Amino acid sequence: MKKPYFKQNSTDPAPLTGSVKRCIRFEEVDMLTIAWHGHYTSFFEDARVHLGQRYGLGYMDLFGQGILAPIKTAHVDFIRPLKFMDEITIQGILHYSEASRINSEYIIKNPQGKIAATGYTVQMMLNTDYELHLTQPEFYKRFCDQWKAGEIK
C-alpha cells in the first residue's frame, strides 16, 4: 500500500469526494499517442473545479469572500499511460485540515477502471493583498466547522 498523501487524525471528518468524466483530446497527446505528462495537473483541475462547485468552495466563492487560493504544491504519480479518446474518470478527494489551506487528492482511472495516475495539490489561502492567512479565514472556518459537525458530506 502506498503512503497516504495527507495524514488524517482520528477526530477529522471523512474526506469529501466527487468525480468527473472526460475524454483525452487530440491536443493532449504527444507523438507517442499518450497523454502528455504536463496535462495531468489540468485533469486534476477538472476534479478540483467539480469539488468547488459541489461544496461551495470554488475559486469565485472564495474570491467573493476576499480569499485567493493559489496552488502551492502539485504532485503526480504516473502509473499507466492514457491514450487519445480514452474516457477517464477523475476522482477528487478533499481532505480536512485545520490550517489555512486546501488539501486535495486525485485518482485518475482509465476506461478499464484501472488507476492511471494519482496525485495531490495544496492550495494556500491569501488575502487580496497576496498576504498569507495565518489562520483560517472566517468563511473557510465556518465551512470546516460544518464539515466537522457532519453537516457537509
CATH 3.10.129.10 fits 16-148, yes or no: yes
| Dist. CA 31–CA 40, nearest whole Å | 17
Distances (CA, A) of 41 to 44, 54, 78: 5, 20, 12
What would the pLDDT profile of 71-110 be if each residue is shown by its tens digit? Answer: 999 999 999 999 999 999 999 999 999 999 999 999 999 9
The whole-angstrom separation of Cα 125 and Cα 12 is: 20
Average pLDDT, the chain: 96
pTM of the full predicted structure? 0.94
Question: 3-state DSSP call for residue 51?
Answer: helix
In this prediction, residue 153 has a pLDDT band, given cuts at 50, 70 and 90, of: confident
List C-alpha distances in Å: 9 to 61, 86, 143: 27, 37, 18
What is residue 12's three-state secondary structure?
Answer: coil
